[in-house]
Structure 1
Amino acid sequence: MADKPSGVEIQLENVTKRYPGSSEPAVADVSMTIPAGKIVILVGPSGCGKTTTMRMINRLIEPSSGRITIGGEDVQAFNADELRRNIGYAIQQAGLFPHFTVEQNIGVVPGLLKWSRKRIRERVEELMDLVGLDPAEFRDRYPRQLSGGQQQRVGVARALAADPPVLLMDEPFGAVDPITRGHLQDELLRLQESLRKTIVFVTHDFDEAVKLGDRIAVLGDKSSIQQYDTPEAILAHPANDMVAGFVGAGASLKQLTLLRVRDVSYSDTTLTATIGTSPAELHKRLTEQGRTYALVLDDRRRPKRWVHVRDLPAASSLTTVGRPVGDSVSTQSTLQDALEAILAEGGNAVVTGSRGEYVGTVDITTVTDTIQQLRTGHVDSESGQS
């Protein structure tokens, strides 16, 4: 990890937005400091002004009054287009240009900044690898040829293309299915661990806020700040009834969102085999060890299929035998994610590392033991240790 964050501090000082013809401001007198290199979540009900507040940072919406600084520089001192080229921006459904390839979409801002073709191509490849898309496979595809989750990965890569210190994200994962959403959240946390950008993230989903945020700003009408604190503090001590309503019932279970899979013990004792292993050899290994199942990995050690010993005698290869791995989790996933994956998989879930490689499995006993420790107050949410 870098010695210091690559992000910079953002300050909002008495920021207000009034629209012509409206008697009340959309955003009224908001002041907050967003620390450098941290993820700050703006969460609140629809229409409260959270997206308007975020868009004033890159002047997609011009504030009526007040002051916004990025790294100590007043945003009004910059040309608006220049400002936006130095701030990453990712939105729901990715907002990709439909007639541009993946490579062209990611390279848009570097192109506007007059980077050389060689530098742009190298940056595109670096970012595609970073967000888990094989450049050889996806570089020349168009958005319509991608899944929703793949489109969002391209959107994040495009937002990071010019290596901006600040990344604004407006409900970027709101339009994908829950499993893909969890994986994208994990990917963002993995990226942030090394990139340490200053990220302002808008959502209406409090569970997402707790999972992703270093700090959460719970906003009320006109973006009034009801509470601005760490997820742990908000869960433990909601400032008022509105915040308590966002926390909702089962606050102790929400503590599972504060703990990561990496914080608890997960097993690496599952028998594994690479996709090129012969079925006969794997059958022999399973039989000798008295095991029933094996996990098949690809050449990059990414989990692909579960194979039962009885499936192997008639199999010609491991490519299609058994069943595909279903819902997996990463070391960045929360224990809430792990619990959902375990229930979907029927007993345990595969755990992957930073590049999608297999690192172990986590089972229901580990999660239920942690829940019991949370109920009795014996788990440290920073370390996951009792």
Structure 2
Amino acid sequence: MTDTIEQPTERGVSGAEITLEKVTKHYPNTKAPAVEAFSMTIPAGKIVVFVGPSGCGKTTTMRMINRMVEPTSGVITIGGQDALSLDADQLRRGIGYAIQQAGLFPHYTVAQNIAIVPGLLKWDRKRIDARVEEMMDLVGLDPGTFAGRLPRQLSGGQQQRVGVARALAADPPVLLMDEPFGAVDPITRGNLQDELLRLQSELGKTIVFVTHDFDEAVKLGDKIAVLGDRSSIQQYDTPDAILANPANDTVAGFVGAGASLKQLTLMRVRDVEFHRDDVMAIGDHERPAAVAERMASAGRTYALVLDERRRPQRWVHVRELAGRQSLDGVGKVVGDSVSPASTLQDALEAILTEGGRAVVTGNRGELLGTIDIDTVTSVIANVREEHASDGTGVTG
């Protein structure tokens, strides 16, 4: 038995299977346990979301996996190893942990925060520096701009990105996330959710995610565990199965009205034919006069300005190019974008925010195409027709 969690070797999956068998937590001087006889298998490389009301025990259950809360009884294994037999500190260094409001050390720079666990594992400085830069790039923060900043100099969304980078810095097989996006605004929250799905598609970690937001659970979870008092499992299944067939009234209460319409959140941008070649892309270094000429020849009114890494920056109208010597600052900044992992609900919100069309970007923020209102509304119409034909209807 080793004193750290070993990485699995299955291709495309770097996560480890977690099993909990009759795990119970009973605090002193309380009659009822906070968690009672909880049993579950969490598949390797999947996102499993615990959702339930406040006080039901979902966070306590998750925190027993890395022994931030010590179980009173039961068995927990991670990658086949008995987690309760490992040194607690070593165990935690092999499990990523991200919480609400990031939990960054305020007097450490971004780079120093990300480097904490690799430092505890006694990586050499060159390896740590390379990993910090790699992780910042992975979560979309330019190292040259952000590495030396303090947390107070970051937005809430940027802080959460740093928190995720820190949790993943030592390449742990398991990542625990305790309502990590609950303290940011809705648009930033949606972007962070997309970012997590993008990272997961690359990394294949085992992620246990706690939330009280059922819509977030549906968007992120490969499987959802709806929990009741003392972390009793009301239903543990895929999002589509729970939406289609809630196990009981408790689960139905979480699903709420409009379950059929909620299934639209299961559909991703990658599942529809978004437009890949219908936008004129121009480099931010190009001469405005030359761009205007190209646009006129192509009969285009708008063009999309990209930076050197093909990341969308601004929408430019042909009228804005007259008399300009450069493209610096010209046009409307691209606001809310989506990724192939974004839901169609996210896409619809971005389209409305952006005025009829949203940009679709890839793993490193590069332009993939655009998606417009007609694409989304046609999918919605098809879903309504399918539900009308099978008699289930769509309520809203």
The TM tier, using the shorter chain, reads over 0.9
Contact 2:56 2:230 in 1 (8 A): yes
Cα distance in 2 for partners of 1:242, 1:161 equals: 38
Amino acid at match of 1:345: E
CA offsets 1:223-274 (integer angstroms, 9 cap, x no match): 1100000011001111111111111112222122111111111113111211
Contact 2:25 2:34 in 1 (8 A): yes
Q: Does 2:285 correspond to 1:301?
A: no
Q: What is the match of residue 91 of structure 1?
A: 99
**Alignment partner of 1:169: what SS?**
strand
Cα displacement (A) at 1:100: 0.7
CA offsets 1:127-182 (integer angstroms, 9 cap, x no match): 11111111111111111111111111111111111111111000111111111111
Q: What is the match of residue 382 of structure 1?
A: none
Q: What is the match of residue 325 of structure 2?
A: 316
State which drifts further: 304-313 or 368-377.
368-377
Q: Write the mapping of 1:1-386 to structure 2, written as runs, cut at 5 A.
A: 3-267=11-275, 268-377=277-386
Contact 1:227 1:234 in 2 (8 A): yes
**Alignment partner of 2:386: what SS?**
coil
Cα displacement (A) at 1:317: 2.0
Amino acid at match of 1:222: R
Amino acid at match of 2:141: L
Contact 1:338 1:349 in 2 (8 A): yes
Amino acid at match of 2:283: T
Contact 2:339 2:362 in 1 (8 A): yes
Q: What is the match of residue 383 of structure 1?
A: none
Cα distance in 2 for partners of 1:255, 1:337 equals: 13
Cα distance in 2 for partners of 1:102, 1:90 equals: 15
Cα distance in 1 for partners of 2:293, 2:13 equals: 51
Contact 1:50 1:223 in 2 (8 A): yes
Q: What is the match of residue 394 of structure 2?
A: none
User: Please, what TM-score do these two structures have when normalized by structure 2?
Assistant: 0.93
Cα distance in 1 for partners of 2:193, 2:12 equals: 23
Contact 1:255 1:374 in 2 (8 A): no
Q: What count of residue pairs does the alignment treat as equivalent?
A: 378
Cα displacement (A) at 1:4: 4.5
Cα distance in 2 for partners of 1:241, 1:316 equals: 65
Cα distance in 1 for partners of 2:167, 2:174 equals: 10
Cα displacement (A) at 1:314: 3.4
How high is the sequence identity, in percent, across the aligned residues?
73
CA offsets 1:285-341 (integer angstroms, 9 cap, x no match): 222222211111111111111111111113332121221112111111111100111
Cα distance in 2 for partners of 1:125, 1:191 equals: 16
State which drifts further: 55-64 or 132-141.
132-141
Cα distance in 1 for partners of 2:10, 2:360 equals: 26
Cα distance in 1 for partners of 2:79, 2:317 equals: 56
Amino acid at match of 1:350: V
Q: What is the match of residue 384 of structure 1?
A: none
Cα distance in 2 for partners of 1:87, 1:320 equals: 43
Cα distance in 2 for partners of 1:322, 1:71 equals: 52
User: Please, what TM-score do these two structures have when normalized by structure 1?
Assistant: 0.95
